Structure 1
Amino acid sequence: MSAPVTDKRVVEFRPKRIRRVTAVCAVVLVAVFTVVGILLGDTPTGVIFRVSDQIAMVCLGVLLACGVLLLGRPRVRADAEGIEVRNVVTANRYSWQDVLHVSFPDGASWARLELPDDEYVSVMAVQAVDRDHAVAAVRALRDLHKAATAG
């Protein structure tokens, strides 16, 4: 058994670039679907669109925007006891004792936690496109892992 770790430091990382991109895309989607919904009522095609169709078009744009915003949801939060990985839909917490390594393989889009039995968990919050931010995140996670598993 290892001695309890007294480090109370908590680190949290979220992707930077993808959050900006998803926000812009969400705004564009809502704007485009709103314009289409407004213009839908005045078409020379002979098709009759009602107000409910226009509202449905705007609602569809909002739903698609919410789906795009999910891509900016990933987060990783770590402390002395373990690491919580929240990706697009799921969130899991792992004890540092269950994690073999924090790695960022060459050519990978995001970091990952190496687990026993050749399993791994993608850490989508630490993305290669964030460059220095990703390097700092991996270093901080590795430091916490090293401190928790030392001894």
Structure 2
Amino acid sequence: MPVVRTWRRGAPEPDPGWEFEVRARRSTRTAIVVAVVIALAFTAGGLVLRTGSTGVNFRVADQVAMILIGVVGACAVLMLTRPRVRAGSRGVAVRNILGEHVYPWDYIRGASFPDGKSWARLELADDDYVPMLAIRANDKAHAADAIERVRGLGAHYAPQS
């Protein structure tokens, strides 16, 4: 029987402790497009900075700085592509824009998608919750399937009380 690979070429193989992984779709594509536009706009601005007579003396260092500002801005926008949710026997790992936290099943009360909210959340035992930016409302059916998978794995792995 052939091995079916479900990860991107060049990416590390998925960790066997995780049965499910989800990322946002629409917001990821939008962030990539916006990052490219920012990088191109600042590069074009940096290249034409010395042309014309504005009364200001721009140097090559100013052009390079303008391009680098565009690259930094594009990288900042690309940070919005990081959110991911993984679930499996270990619990649920939520990676939002900065950092990743793993929550064991015995600490999780449930996963919900509150009305009017842009993303799902993981409800914890101490009446706290964690936003799951990878499961976004604008992904519609993809988001509904993802939250049901997280709930299903919770029903399977959570300790019975």
User: TM-score when scaled to structure 2?
Assistant: 0.86
Write the distance in 2 (CA, Å) between the matches of 1:141 and 1:149: 11
- Shift of residue 82, structure 1, vs aligned partner: 0.4
Partner of 1:13: 22
What secondary structure sits across from 2:123 in the alignment? strand
User: Structure 1's 86 and 9: CA in aligned 2 closer, same or farther, altered over 3 A?
Assistant: closer
Matched to 2:151, the amino acid is R
| Equivalence map 1:55-94=2 (5 Å) | 55-94=64-103
Write the distance in 2 (CA, Å) between the matches of 1:11 and 1:65: 29
Q: 2:44 aligns with which of 29, 35, 55?
A: 35
Partner of 1:114: 123
- Shift of residue 150, structure 1, vs aligned partner: 5.1
Partner of 1:135: 144
CA contact (8 A) 2:105 2:159 kept: no
- Shift of residue 45, structure 1, vs aligned partner: 1.4
Q: 1:126 aligns with which of 114, 118, 135?
A: 135
- Shift of residue 44, structure 1, vs aligned partner: 1.3
Identity of aligned residues (%): 45
Write the distance in 2 (CA, Å) between the matches of 1:127 and 1:143: 18
- Shift of residue 9, structure 1, vs aligned partner: 6.2
- Shift of residue 29, structure 1, vs aligned partner: 0.5
Unaligned runs of 5+ in 1: 1-7
CA contact (8 A) 2:106 2:159 kept: no
Matched to 1:82, the amino acid is G
Structure 1 segments, 4+ long, off by >6 Å, are none
- Shift of residue 81, structure 1, vs aligned partner: 2.3
User: Structure 1's 121 and 9: CA in aligned 2 closer, same or farther, altered over 3 A?
Assistant: closer
- Shift of residue 127, structure 1, vs aligned partner: 0.2
Single out whichever of 110-119 and 135-144 deviates more from structure 2. 110-119
Unaligned runs of 5+ in 2: 1-16
- Count of aligned residue pairs for this structure pair: 144
The structure with the largest helix share of the pair is: 1
Write the distance in 1 (CA, Å) between the matches of 2:147 and 2:154: 10
Write the distance in 1 (CA, Å) between the matches of 2:52 and 2:81: 36
Partner of 1:24: 33
User: TM-score when scaled to structure 1?
Assistant: 0.92
